Amino acid sequence: MDIERALTGRTALVTGAGRGIGRAIATRLARDGALVAVHYGRSAAAALEVVAEIRRNGGRAFPLGAELGVPGDAAAVFDAFDAGLREERGEEVAGAEAADAGGSLDILVNNAGASGSGPVGQAVPEIFDRMIAVNAKAPFFLVQGALPRMRDGGRIINISSLATRRAFPESLAYAMSKGALDTMTLALAKELGGRGITVNTVGPGFIETDMNARRRTTPEARAALAARSVFDRIGKPSDVADVVAFLASDDSRWITGQYLDVSGGTDL
């Protein structure tokens, strides 16, 4: 007999889900029973691999392509989300009508991000603007687009960074843009509490992904990063995904407005 999983019957949208932490989150939420919209900006092939993996393992998912950090990005995401959801569910109603009919989204994970801004002396306006556009502005308007579609009792989970809680001068604009997510979490948690929607931030430390591969190019560099955690290892995407899965579940119903440090005790 099948055992009902924690997220059975729920729909999740995970941005930047083609690789790294986003991929781990998408596959974990699907494993827990959610139908997952696997968002990607430019890496369509990677996102399709994630969808295929989820389906092979008995889960449900569909790809959703829309670049973030450009004009109209949030609207494009939800146009694609509504279309993908209709196709997945075989619905013949418009996206807005589906939302009005009781909601079409339960979990939004703002994971997509841009990095590599450098220290203040090397900063240029174009890179700064991109950090803000992708890491702060896009999540803000994705929340705005999600709320009419989100059922009461939903979950908004923002993937921030330990760089907002530790000095990180080598990538200042990145840290600033992620700090905006932390602030957004606090305000939204208070605003949306009446609907039973929880809003929380997850702050990873050093996780083994493509984004920070340049910091792990030698055995010595890897060892130095590992030594910053009390567990003497670099984090894995699944270390973050498991925490996100908890926040997406009913077990986290009494947690909102919080920053969860998921750094393995970095720099304690």
d(CA 218, CA 201): 31
Residue partners of 83: CB distance under 8 A and separation at least 6: 95
pLDDT at 212: 75
Q: Give the domain ranges of the chain.
A: 11-262
* Residue 222 CA, distance from chain mean position: 25
**Residue-wise pLDDT tens digits, 83-103:** 999 999 885 444 445 444 347
Grouping H, G, I as helix, E, B as strand and the rest as coil, residue 166 is coil
Interior/surface letters 176-208, b for 16+ CB within 10 angstroms, e for the rest? bbbbbbbebbeebbeebeeeebbbbbbbbbbbb
Range with the poorest average pLDDT among 35-39, 115-119, 257-261? 115-119
Q: What is the fold of 11-262?
A: Rossmann fold (3.40.50)
Question: Position of tokens 């939204």?
Answer: 188
**Residue-wise pLDDT tens digits, 59-81:** 999 999 999 999 999 999 999 99
Does an H or E element contain 139, and which?
Answer: helix 138-146
| Pick from 80, 176, 186, 60: nearest CA to 129 | 176
What is the set of active-site residues?
160-161, 174, 178
Residue 91, Cβ neighbours under 10 Å: how many? 15
pLDDT at 3: 55
Helices and strands: H and E segment counts in the chain: 9, 7
Return the higher-pLDDT residue of 91 and 200.
200
* pTM of the predicted protein model: 0.93
